[in-house]
Amino acid sequence: MTREKTRNDFHELVGLVFASLILVSFVVMFLTILRDLWPVFSLLFYGYLTRMTFHTGITAAMSLTGIALYVVSWPAVTYLGQWVGMPLFALGLLVWFYAVLCSLPFMFGPNVPKIS
């Protein structure tokens, strides 16, 4: 009885390991296929949240400036290296994020605390 239970536990473990390997390989293959589309997904995400920042002129200008810096950071990394591209990326992301935070009261009503 004990030997049979051990054998059944071993078969369950082997099945679990194989299922995990199949899942990991599927995720890796899926992410490899989508790797070239990440810029499209990120631009759609930025565009959706940026559309909500156009309630005031200053937040619209800030969000568009942040997106411009973010987009410029990709070729900067390619041609000038990471030390130039990453600060551009971080600055663009922070400017855009601050614009989104400033426009939260306009998006979700007056119950959201104002960032000033």
pLDDT, residue 36, reads: 81
The structure's pTM equals: 0.57
Amino acid at 97: F
Residue 54, judged by CB atoms within 10 A of its CB (0-12, 13-18, 19+), counts as middle
Indicate whether 72 belongs to any domain: yes
Indicate whether 13 belongs to any domain: yes
Give the total number of structural domains in the chain.
2
Q: Are residues 57 and 31 located together in one domain of the fold?
A: no
pLDDT tens for residues 68-89?
998 898 888 888 888 988 999 9
Q: Which residue has the tokens 């071993």?
A: 10
> How many Cα atoms sit within 13 Å of 95 on the Cβ side?
18
Domain around 5:
1-36
Amino acid at 26: F
pLDDT, residue 95, reads: 93
pLDDT tens for residues 3-26?
666 667 777 777 788 888 888 888
Length of the chain: 116
